[in-house]
Each structure stands twice: as structure tokens, then as C-alpha cells.
Structure 1
Amino acid sequence: MNVEVLILGGTTEGYALAAALADHPRFTPVSSLAGRTASPRSPAGEVRIGGFGGPDGLEAWLRARPTIAAIIDSTHPFASRMGWNAATACAARALPLLRLERPAWRAVPGDLWDEVEDWEQAAALVSARSRRVLLALGRQELEPFARLDTIRFLIRSVERPEPMPAFAQAEILLARGPFGLEDERALLSSHEIDTIVCKNSGGTATESKLAAARELGVRVVMRRRPRRPDLPNVATVAEAVAWLETISPG
């Protein structure tokens, strides 16, 4: 009998893991998506969309779904609340829990990075020294920058922010990665960007902006990843499948 695995997904890694388990002779994926995008692509296997209602809601869902034998948290590195909810629910249900997370970006020689803990710190840095800024952020993270009315912002987003904060000077660029180095170089140059504000998401889909910034001498204000529960942690789908095989031998 196949083992059901709940994947807390929505990321590239979550989709890849669901595809790998869908073809596996012993595991069946059940993916959970937060439902924040209007038309999310559907991963392989069973899919549920929407939140659980905190740790108690997730625990209740797991109680009603006793066929789930393990959970793999492959949510975005900044979706920390779901990680803590999963840790609490899994402890209550005595279920194995693994974190599948892409490695964070690390500064290399030539990078002009300032790492910050929150967007208020980022806005203060931008206010002090920037003129033209690329905001490569989520739709819900723009508000702290809207009050900086002497700075011109280029806001890159997958979907248009609704509601849109009242920026004095802002242009919206709707685009979805991956972005190539040549395109990122051209974007920064044509808009005369002197600062990029982003979060340390890791991965390759949007990494080219950092290489382009390094080449052009553009500063980067980088938000550090939030703290997460102390869990077994892997960086690849193959490692996640291997972990599953250790908790479900045979």
C-alpha cells in the first residue's frame, strides 16, 4: 500500500517533489497550496487549496486524514508561519516532518549588499541614499516604501498589487521569472536603477538580478530569511525522497 505524503508546496521544489512522488512506486503526494495567486498551476497528484486555520486546524485536518504518514514543508523560505504551524501539528500527531528548502544566496566578492531583518530597515536604507529602486518583492510587502516620495520605484510583480499603495513615483512591471542575465542587465541600465530591494529567496529563477547588480555596481538591500523550527532539512528533491524511504522502509 502506498504511503501518503502531505507536501506544503507552492514552490518550484514542491512541484518537483510532487512529480517525483507521483511516479514513485511507494509514495502518493497530496499537495497543499496557500491559494494566494489567482491561477496557480496544479502539481501532480491530489491538490488542496487554502489555509488550514493555524496549527490546530492543521492538526484537525491530519486527524481526519489518518492516511498521511509524513509531511514535507517545501513552502517559500519566507512563509515561516506555515513552518511553525506544521511543526506544532506534527508534534501533536507524532508525524515525521522534513523541511525541503533551496539554499540561501550568499554574497561574493564584488557584491554591494546590505542585509536587513525587516522592510522598515530596508526602507530606511533606501531613503538615505537611493534615487531609483527596483522592488522585487511580494504584493503585500510594498507599503513601507510607499511613503518615500522622493524616490522613483520600479515594482516587479507576478500580479498587480491590489490594493496598490499610494506611491508618489512608481511604475509596475508584471513579469514572472526565470529572468536571464542579459535581460536583467538591460532592465537595470534602462531604468537607471541604483538599488535593488529583495528578499533572500535563493534558487536560480531570479538570481540573475544579483549578478547584473554586481556587474553594474548596483546596491542590493537583502532581507534575511526568518527563523524556522529546528527540523531535518534537505536542499534537493532526491534527498527528500531518500528521507521518506528511511521512515518508510521496505
Structure 2
Amino acid sequence: MEPILNHSPEKHQGQRLWLLAGTGEGPLLATRLLQRGWRVRVSVVSANAAAAYRSLAAGRMGAALEVVVGALAGPAAITAALEQACQQADPFAALIDATHPFALRISRDLATVCAGRGVPLLRLGRALQPAGDATVLADLEGLQGCALAGRSVLLALGARQLAAAVTSSPGAHHHARVLPAPAALQQALAAGLKPARIAPLRPSRDFAVEAALVRRWGISAIVCRQSGGPVEAGWRQVSQRCGCQLLLLARPAEPHAVVPLSEPLLLATLERLVAEG
């Protein structure tokens, strides 16, 4: 059983955390931290992601929230931000990595920098669901053994992985759901997908749009990532509802010495770090 926290909003007054997150668990976790009296900097990669924090920034706790937009350019950028915070006499008590499970580069960079500087790093994890009726692939080359030639296949992966998925499934009729961003569309086209087979849209709340797309295109197999959370759950529902084969790209391992924590355990660990500090 995970611990139940007793906290006071005044307990962490003046202490600051750096949360790197997206639009999934990020806004809720930021809310939990603010409620506990932390000041929070949130780093997101795009203005669209920042919009998910707009109502929180405008609320009664907004003065304690800072939202920064832009990808961090490697370990040097992370180090520079930590040094700047120290120079301003406003250091971060800890960093929280709540980025996507497949965002390998930023997670590795955070682990490297924090280990080198002795800064506490906490990783928010997502529960790994049992495979069930899905087929879990160790890598995209595993598509070669899935008999996809001649079938209509929906690729619901990160845009950067589309080219590898197309190459590993020759003869399939490829379709893709990508985020509505210029870079994602460019990568889909560069992977060889036809414009009429690309759907630029964000995940819908109940995945009804995705189910309609699957039916319209006559999809028989869906390829997505074993990312956990509502997106994977949504594709599982669509595959069951529409009678599609579901192929999951296995979640990558976390960086060395990084242990994913559930939200309650992460919050409890923060409390303990402060108490010990």
C-alpha cells in the first residue's frame, strides 16, 4: 500500500521544483504540487502543450507556476538552467521527469545531469498493462513477421518512427494518425504515406474519432506504442470495437538507476527528501 500524505500548503513555501512534462499527467501533477505549497516551473516542448496549463496558470495558484516552452537542447541546456537557478539564489529542490515513456533522449539527459550534479531526480511512471489480445513487438523490425502485406494498417506512432515502420512492413497499405504539427506532417510524407492516408489530429477524449477513422479506412491492424495511459487504452478499445489486430511497440527501458514511481509514491518521496534535507 502506498503512503497517504499529510501536507500543508505552507510547508514548502519558497521551495521550487522543475517539472518536465507534456499534456498527459503533467497538468494534474502540477496541480498536486502547487496544492502542497511548492513553486513549480513546468517545461513543455510546444505552445500547444502549454495551453493545457492555461487554466491552472490563471487560477488562484497561478502565481506559483511558471510555464516555459521549448525543447531543451541536451545536457548543456539542462546544466545551464540549473546553474542559472543557483546564481539567482532560487535553486530547484528536485527535478521531476514526467515526459513520455518514449522520450528517451530527454530522460537520459536528465538522468546524466542530475547524477553528475547531485540534484534529486524523480521519474513519474505509467503502469504497464498486460498484453492481453495485443502483440508486443520488441522493435519495429518485428512488423516483418506480422503478415501485413496487402492489409490496411494504421500507424499511430510518433512521427519520427513512421519511416522505420513503413520500411518494416512492405506491401501494406499504410495510413497514419499524426499530431497536427508541420514537422509531423513532413515526416509522414517523407516516409512515403499518401496525403489522403494521413490524419492530423490529437487524441480524442473517447477515441470515437479514431474508431470512425479505422472504419472509414478499412483498417485491419493498428500499430501503436506501449506507452500506457489513456492513449494506449484508447487504441485498445478501438481495436476491440473494430475487430483489429493491435501491435504494440514495447516500451523502452528507463535510464540506468532511474526508478519510475506512481504519483502517490513520487509525492511521498518528495516529502521525505525535504525532511531529510
TM interval, short-chain normalised: 0.7 to 0.9
**Alignment equivalent of 2:108, drawn from 74, 84, 95:** 84
Query: Equivalences for 1:19-168 in 2 at 5 Å?
Result: 19-25=31-37, 27-35=38-46, 40-41=50-51, 43=53, 44=57, 45-66=65-86, 67-108=91-132, 111=133, 113-122=134-143, 124-125=144-145, 128-129=148-149, 131-146=151-166, 150-160=171-181, 161-163=185-187, 164-165=189-190, 166-167=192-193
Matched with 1:214 is 240
Cα deviation, residue 6, structure 1? 0.6
Cα deviation, residue 60, structure 1? 2.8
* Aligned residue identity for 1:31: V
Q: Which structure carries more helix by proportion?
A: 2
Cα deviation, residue 4, structure 1? 0.6
The 1:201/1:105 distance shift into structure 2, 3 A limit, reads: same
Percent identity of equivalent pairs: 29
Which runs of at least 4 in structure 1 moved beyond 6 Å after TM superposition?
A: none
Cα distance in structure 2, aligned partners of 1:142 and 1:69: 39
Query: Would you say the 8 A contact 1:73–1:98 is kept in 2?
Result: yes
Higher RCO (CA-CA < 8 Å; seq separation 6+): 1
The 1:231/1:146 distance shift into structure 2, 3 A limit, reads: closer
Cα deviation, residue 98, structure 1? 0.8
Query: Would you say the 8 A contact 1:30–1:47 is kept in 2?
Result: yes
The 1:72/1:172 distance shift into structure 2, 3 A limit, reads: same
Query: Would you say the 8 A contact 1:5–1:72 is kept in 2?
Result: yes
* Aligned residue identity for 2:176: I
Query: Would you say the 8 A contact 1:149–1:167 is kept in 2?
Result: no
Matched with 1:14 is 26
Cα distance in structure 2, aligned partners of 1:57 and 1:182: 40
Query: Would you say the 8 A contact 2:150–2:171 is kept in 1?
Result: no
Cα distance in structure 2, aligned partners of 1:157 and 1:114: 22
The 1:76/1:130 distance shift into structure 2, 3 A limit, reads: farther
Matched with 1:233 is 260
Give ranges in structure 2 of 5+ residues lacking alignment.
1-12, 58-64
Cα deviation, residue 216, structure 1? 4.2
Cα deviation, residue 146, structure 1? 4.3
CA deviation vs aligned residue, 1:129-173 (integer Å, no higher than 9, x gap): 451011111222211244567432221122151242223585122
Cα distance in structure 2, aligned partners of 1:185 and 1:47: 34
* Aligned residue identity for 1:10: G
Give ranges in structure 1 of 5+ residues lacking alignment.
none
Matched with 2:7 is none
* Aligned residue identity for 1:41: A
Cα distance in structure 2, aligned partners of 1:154 and 1:52: 31
Aligned residues: 243
**How high is the TM-score relative to the length of structure 2?**
0.76
Query: Would you say the 8 A contact 1:199–1:224 is kept in 2?
Result: yes
CA deviation vs aligned residue, 1:148-200 (integer Å, no higher than 9, x gap): 67432221122151242223585122222234265554443332211101111
Q: What value does the CA root-mean-square deviation take over the aligned residues?
A: 2.7
Matched with 1:4 is 16
Query: Would you say the 8 A contact 1:155–1:172 is kept in 2?
Result: yes
Cα distance in structure 2, aligned partners of 1:18 and 1:181: 25
The 1:168/1:188 distance shift into structure 2, 3 A limit, reads: closer
Secondary structure at 2:186 match in 1: coil
